[in-house]
Structures are given as C-alpha cells and as structure tokens.
Structure 1
Amino acid sequence: MHSVNMEAVETVKKTRSGKWMLGCLLVAVLLRVASESTASLSYLFLAAYALFGRAQVIQAFVLSWLLTMLNPGLAPDSSGLSAGRYLVIFAGAVSVGFRSRIAVEFSIRKLSFFTLLLGIFLLAHSVLFSAAVDFSILKAMAWVVVVLTLLSAWQGLSMQGRKILFDQLQTLLVVLMLVSLPLLVIPTIGYLRNGTGFQGVLNHPQAFGPTIALVGTLVGGRLLGEKKPRWRDIALLGLCFVLVVLSGARTAGLAMVAGLVGAAALSPIFAGVSRSRMVPGLRSQRFQILLVLSFVGVIAAGPVLVDRITNYLFKQSDASTLFDAAEASRGFLVQKMIVNIEDNPLVGIGFGIASELADMEIERDSILGLPLSAVVEKGVMPIAVLEELGIFGAAAVLAWLFVVLRRGARAGVQKFAVLITLLMVNFGESMFFSVGGMGMLLLVLLSASVVEESL
C-alpha cells in the first residue's frame, strides 16, 4: 500500500513538473518571438522562474539555450539577449546557492571541487596571460558558475526527481526535432542560413546537426541499455540519422555514431562491469532484426545511398578522404591555431581568445562597458584548448574530462554515449565552453550524466 501511495505521489509530481515546464516554455517562447521589445523580457521571465527551485534552474537554463538558438526566421533579434543570458545564469546560481546543503555525496563534491580548481586556474590564467583579460575572466567565470550550478541542482533533486527531469529534457529535444519537420518544405526558414544545410527551428545547421545527434544518442543509448528496445525508439533513431545528414553537419553525424559505438565498446571498461549487464540491448531480438534490416537496406539502396553519403561527407568538394574534407572545411582555422601554439606552447594566448585578436569583436554593455560576448570561430576543441591554455592548461582540462567520463560510464550506457557524443561534436566546432550558445545544452546534458550512479 505504501509503495502504491508513493507511486501516486510521484505521478502527481511528474504531472505538475511537466505542466510547469510546458507553461514556462510557452510563455518564454511567446515573449521571445512576439517582438524585439519582448524578446529581452523572455530572459527576465526565465530568471524569475529559476528562483523557484533546483528543477526550475535546470529548466530555465535549457530554455535559455533554446531562446538563444531560435531560427531568426521565427524569432526577431534583440540587443538585450546577451545580457539576458547572464541574468538567467546569475539567478540560477543564486537559487541553487540558497538551497545548497553542506552534506552532499562525497563523489559529487569531489567532481565539483575539481571543477572549482579548474575554474580558479582559468581565472588566474586569464589575469596573467590573456590578450583580452576582461573577456577571458567573464568567459571563465560564466563557464564554471554554470557547471557548478548544474551539478548542485541535479544532485539536490531526489533520484525520482532527476529521472522525471531528464525524461522531460529528452521529450523537449524530440519535440523540437518533430516541430522542425514541416520546415523541410519551407526553405526560406528551414534552410535560411546557407540554403543547403537544414537548420530546423534553430539558427544554424551547425547547431541543429549536433542537437539532433544528441537526440539520436539519447534514443540509441536507451536502445542499448534496455533488454527489449521499443520500436518507437528505433524509428526515432532512424529519423535522427536522416536529419543529421540533411543538416550537412558531418562532425555531428560522426559524433553520434562514435558515441553509440564507443559507449557499447568502452562503457563496460570504464564502469568495471560485464558487457551483458551494461549493454543488454545488443542481445535483444529486436536489435538484431534492426541490424539485418539495415544491412539489407544498405544493399538495396546501393549507388543512391553511396552517392548521398559521399556528398554528405565531402560536401561536393575535391576531397577524397575524411582528413582532406576536414582540412578543406576547418584547415585554415587549425593552421592559425597551430601558429599560436608554436609561439606560445606553455601558456597559450588566453581563454576564449580568437586566433587573430584583430578579428575579435567584443560586444560590451552600453552602461558599464563590461564584455558580454564575442563571435570566436574555432574548430577542433582539443587544439583550441591547447592554443588558448597551453600545455599545462590542456592537461588540466583533459584530467577533468577523464573524471567526467568515468562518472558517466557508471551512470549507464545511455549517459556515457551522450558524453562521448557531446565531446566529439567539438571536433568540428569548438562550443563546449560557450555557455551563451550550444555550450549550455552540452553542459546540461553533461551534468545530468554524472550526478547519478546506476550501477
């Protein structure tokens, strides 16, 4: 009887939490798309919403990412968006800090402690070596505050509360994918950025592709982790592959495959458990049927499929290998970074700084002149980290990421796959430290993947 009552209570909580998030989403989106004057108010609304609890903080961060990344064909631009994003982060940090307890699980305190140490290093490095000190300090503070806030928010929820919120997040991302489908036949919006890559409801194919890759990894990871995968998930995974290809985001497609294959192969090693326990889905009849059908489909599609995949991987360039394609796409960015690494191998050029400082336009607050954002285009995050932080800084980031992957493996194959994918997408576009853009979604998923050990 007691268990039945508890299930009823959790069902009520799930329903209420879902209604809160749905209501918040609708109000925030309406404010964001209504006009330029109300666009900034949407972030003020989210900042106020974040003050109501830990779950609301995470929801507000996710919605802040969505409002920032909305397709400009659907939502107007506004001069107050950059400041609005920081307001949401500040409100979330205050909300979580007010509710934090001293007695929390040691392993999470350990990860938070490592994050804090990394943040202190980034701040000290910015002061000592950055070519634009104030901007590097802002970027470092924003990143470490977001990570610590998210870790504390997820850990402060009950186990059931985390599951409910994580399910809501997955549902939201799937809904965004499905809502994007009608834009396939409206090229003035769906292909607005460059006319060739599908961007859906987001502002760039290079944002839509990684987002759908993460959706595919969430769904595929669920298939691997369940003894009897659902046909619905199999269909969704297939749709994700199609949309990632249509986006033209090659790194996203490769990251999704690497995340699923890598998790299936490596998660038992990282978690220290048997493969049959870690990845039961591989032995399911439905999964084996899927593999057979996929193999038959590949043979049947033949030349058409090969032509489409070739066009996707090489984007009609003269490249004949993936390395050549990457060189044609991002080679000029990498070359600039390598020059800076050769000139500053130990300390780098500064956290978040562009390879050529003269090309870096920093948006500043009109009142106090504080730096708010800057467009910095870099590919291949490991090289970008080495360029910005030097050898010792890159080693510190690598050590932190190893701890993160270790914890993610213990949380299950799905979350380990998500971690691999979100790191791999940064090999085409360095977005991991950009909390004002795609980095926010990556950090929400990362924090969700390391706060709970299910094994």
Structure 2
Amino acid sequence: MISPGIAPISGFSSAGRYAVIFAAALSVLMKNRSTVLAYDAVPTLFLGIFITFHSILFSPIVDVSALKSISWTISMLTVITAWRQLSHDDWDAVSLQVFRSLILVMVVSLPLLVLPLGYLVNGTGFQGILNHPQAMGPTLALLGAWSASQMFGSKRPPWHVVILVIVCVVLVLLSEARTAGLALLGGFSFAALCVSLLSKRRLVSTLPGLFSPRFGLITVVGVVLLSLFGSKFLGNIASYISKRGEASNLMEAYQGSRGYLIDAMQANISMSPWQGIGFGIASIPEAMVVTRDPMLGLPIGAAIEKGVMPLAVLEELGIPGFIFVAVWIASVLRRSARGGVASLSVALTVLLLNLGENTLFSAGGFGMLPIILLGWAITSADHLSPVRHAPNRRMTQPA
C-alpha cells in the first residue's frame, strides 16, 4: 500500500500476496494443529466453505471467485488462529507492536503534510506514505478508535494518547475520507454504549476518562477555540462533508459518491435475488479485468469497486449468503464485545468502514489490516480473562 511516489509498484505484488498468505497459514498449521478449529474460528470456516461452494456452482468466472473465497477464508482462519496461539504476554506484545506500527505510519506521514507528495492522488486529500487517501483515512480511523478506547478507558488519560487521538481525527479530516470519519465516530460511540448497556454499568465505570479532569480541560479549550474560530471550523467540516463542493449534505454526498454503484447492484439483486452473481464478481462481469499469471494462467488480480458491503454481499451471494454473512458478523461482534470497549470499537469501525469501502472480504491491499484487527478483537476476551492468566501479569495492551 506504499505510495508510488515513494517506491515503484512491485510487479510481483499480486502473486506475492498469495505466497505470504499460504506461508503464514502453513506456519500456523505446523505450530499447533489442535487450535485450527478453535470455537471462535468455526463460524469463519463454515462461511468460507459456503462461499467456496457458491462460487463453484454459480459464479460466471469460477476460478476468480473460488480463489478470492479461499484466500479470504485462509487469511481469516490464519489470523484468528495465530492470535489465539499466542501466550498472554506474547499477545500483549504483538498487540503493542501492531498499535505502534499504525502510529509509525502516521508519524512518518506527518512531514508530507507540507509536500505535494502527500496529496499525490488528487491534490487535496491527504494520503501520507500510502497510495490513496481512501487508504490513509480508514487506517487512521482504526488507530483513532483504538486510541480513543485507551484514552477514555483510563481514569487519568496519558497526554500522549490524548494527542494521538486528536492527530488521528485531524488527519482523517484532511484525508477527505468521509466514511472513515463516520466510522471512527460511530465505531467508538456505539461500542461504548453497547458495552455499558450489556455490562449494566454506568458510563462513568465504562469510560472513566470521559469524566477525568484532563478531558474536562480539553473540553474547555475546545469550547474556547470553537467560540474564536467557530465559523472557520464549521466551514472546514462542511467542506469535508461536501468534498470540494460536490454535495450540500451527507446523504447527497453519499449518493454522489456511491449512487452509481448502488444502482448497478440493485439491478442485479432484482434479477437474481436468491442465486447472486458470484463472489467477488463485478456488477458488470463482462467489463471485469482479470490479470492472470502468464505461466499457470491463474487469476492474480481482479479488482472491483462496489463500496457498500451489505449490498455487495446480497448482490454476489443472494439472500441465503446474505443471511449467512449476517450471522457471521453477529458472531464476530459478540466475541469482540466480550473483550470490552477497545475490541468492540475496532470491530465496529471495521464494519462501518465497509459502508463506503467494500474491503471486509478482501485479503489484498488495505483489506488485510481489517482482517488482522478483527482477529485481535475476536480473541481479545480470552487473553484478557483473569481466569486463564496469572493475576500478576504485566499489562502492556495498548487499549
């Protein structure tokens, strides 16, 4: 996902992706075969089997659909199993490494704020060191949701975490990725509300940082700045929503950016509501560009753009597949909720991002980051349970 202005696009990126996925799967399988079918991986396995058989039976381009299905299933199972295999201390350490890696992407991108290289795609949306603003925005939204959980989950939020949350919000706005902004806000807010209701605890217990003196100070400073620069701030928010004046409100902006994709998907759903058009197949299959390996003829690239994941699932897998995916998502959210606000907010942010960027079932490009973080969220409750681990453990988890 590196910016082409920083490094040239690799000619082996498509084929090499599958080598990484299958090597990782083999490594996990060789380490401990008994955890491959752990209870939290079973729903993913059943969904993957369903999608693969659906691809064989109904897809107009069987090898493309089957390879996409198999690569996603193997990736998701590998990630869940890999997180689950870690000891508590290792799970904490790897969580911290992933967290710091996302911070590193942000920090290294900051100098590009004043350089044209940071706005290479369209000249206005900040992309940093990544290849598109629609990659930078969602990446920082995930980091922001994770950081906000840490900030509000502490009675005395560290200042560096507070600054991290603020920087994430600002850069998401600069990326012009509207879906990312809404996903960041909605993911954390819904997670905090749901955990508070499910645990039957007051909000002050779930989010003590919300009532801390430091957050109170930030609120006062924010009100003062808003009173001084309110018109400019509101103008920037309006510009963010309209994206250079392309729309006057949020719904119009969504329709303008995703409307033509939605229309095409709705037409296919009307024609084939039960069967679907095939997993990972473009709304117009005849216009789909498939890149194949010159030696074996296997598909190594078949990019599609659909944007709205729920409609894309219904279009590709039909009503039965849509129900199957809904059940799988429910299981993911249920397991993530057991881990607390941090894991649920990350999982919800991933899902809300897919209302504008259909990456949930893509193991290539940006889609791998949500897969890794979903695996973290799904397994978080077991690694945080005091029953399974010694009471004197050193807590290094960043959220």
Instruction: Judge same fold: TM > 0.5, yes or no.
Output: yes
**What is the alpha-carbon distance in structure 2 between the residues aligned to residue 387 and residue 103 of structure 1?**
34
Which one of the candidate residues 146, 153, 156 is aligned to 1:225? 153
Structural RMSD (CA): 1.6
Counterpart of 2:238 in structure 1 is: 310
**What is the alpha-carbon distance in structure 2 between the residues aligned to residue 332 and residue 103 of structure 1?**
44
Counterpart of 1:47 in structure 2 is: none
TM-score (norm 2): 0.93
Counterpart of 1:383 in structure 2 is: 311
Report the CA distance between 1:81 and its aligned residue: 1.1
Matched, 1:358 2:286: yes
Structure 2 CA distance for partners of 1:272 and 1:136, relative to 1, 3 Å: farther
**What is the alpha-carbon distance in structure 2 between the residues aligned to residue 157 and residue 260 of structure 1?**
26
Matched, 1:448 2:380: no
Deviations 1:289-312 (A, max 9, x none): 323332332232211011111011
Counterpart of 2:119 in structure 1 is: 191
Structure 2 CA distance for partners of 1:348 and 1:193, relative to 1, 3 Å: same
Amino acid at match of 2:5: G
Matched, 1:97 2:26: no
Matched, 1:434 2:366: no
Deviates more, 1:74-83 or 1:136-145: 74-83
Matched, 1:332 2:260: yes
Which one of the candidate residues 106, 112, 118 is aligned to 1:177? 106
Counterpart of 1:16 in structure 2 is: none
Amino acid at match of 1:203: N
Which one of the candidate residues 115, 120, 130 is aligned to 2:49? 120
Are the aligned partners of 1:224 and 1:413 in contact in 2 as well (CA < 8 Å)? no
**What is the alpha-carbon distance in structure 2 between the residues aligned to residue 270 and residue 339 of structure 1?**
39
Counterpart of 1:3 in structure 2 is: none
Are the aligned partners of 1:271 and 1:410 in contact in 2 as well (CA < 8 Å)? no
Which one of the candidate residues 70, 75, 92 is aligned to 2:2? 70
Are the aligned partners of 1:363 and 1:372 in contact in 2 as well (CA < 8 Å)? yes
Structure number with the higher helix fraction is 1
Deviations 1:88-112 (A, max 9, x none): 10110000000114268xxx82221
**What is the alpha-carbon distance in structure 1 between the residues aligned to residue 372 and residue 326 of structure 2?**
19
Matched, 1:211 2:139: yes
Counterpart of 1:258 in structure 2 is: 186
Deviations 1:371-393 (A, max 9, x none): 11112011111111111111111
Counterpart of 2:395 in structure 1 is: none
Are the aligned partners of 1:100 and 1:152 in contact in 2 as well (CA < 8 Å)? no
Are the aligned partners of 2:337 and 2:344 in contact in 1 as well (CA < 8 Å)? yes
**What is the alpha-carbon distance in structure 1 between the residues aligned to residue 197 and residue 183 of structure 2?**
20
Report the CA distance between 1:273 and its aligned residue: 5.5
Number of equivalences: 383
Counterpart of 1:81 in structure 2 is: 13
**What is the alpha-carbon distance in structure 2 between the residues aligned to residue 99 and residue 269 of structure 1?**
39
Amino acid at match of 2:84: Q
Matched, 1:160 2:92: no
Counterpart of 2:296 in structure 1 is: 368
**What is the alpha-carbon distance in structure 2 between the residues aligned to residue 272 and residue 447 of structure 1?**
26
Deviations 1:204-255 (A, max 9, x none): 0000110011111111111122221111111111111111111110110111
Report the CA distance between 1:185 and its aligned residue: 1.7
- Structure 1: gaps (5+ residues): 1-68
Counterpart of 2:388 in structure 1 is: none
Are the aligned partners of 2:137 and 2:171 in contact in 1 as well (CA < 8 Å)? yes
Are the aligned partners of 1:268 and 1:409 in contact in 2 as well (CA < 8 Å)? no
**What is the alpha-carbon distance in structure 1 between the residues aligned to residue 197 and residue 184 of structure 2?**
20
**What is the alpha-carbon distance in structure 2 between the residues aligned to residue 421 and residue 360 of structure 1?**
29
Query: Identity over the aligned pairs, expressed in percent?
Result: 46
Q: Secondary structure at the match of 1:346?
A: coil
Report the CA distance between 1:280 and its aligned residue: 2.5
Q: Secondary structure at the match of 1:109?
A: coil
Counterpart of 1:140 in structure 2 is: 69
Work out which structure has the larger RCO, using CA pairs closer than 8 Å and 6 or more positions apart in sequence: 2
Amino acid at match of 1:97: L
**What is the alpha-carbon distance in structure 2 between the residues aligned to residue 289 and residue 222 of structure 1?**
18
Counterpart of 1:343 in structure 2 is: 271
Are the aligned partners of 1:432 and 1:438 in contact in 2 as well (CA < 8 Å)? no
Matched, 1:201 2:114: no
Amino acid at match of 1:71: S
Counterpart of 2:390 in structure 1 is: none
Are the aligned partners of 1:183 and 1:190 in contact in 2 as well (CA < 8 Å)? yes
Matched, 1:394 2:339: no
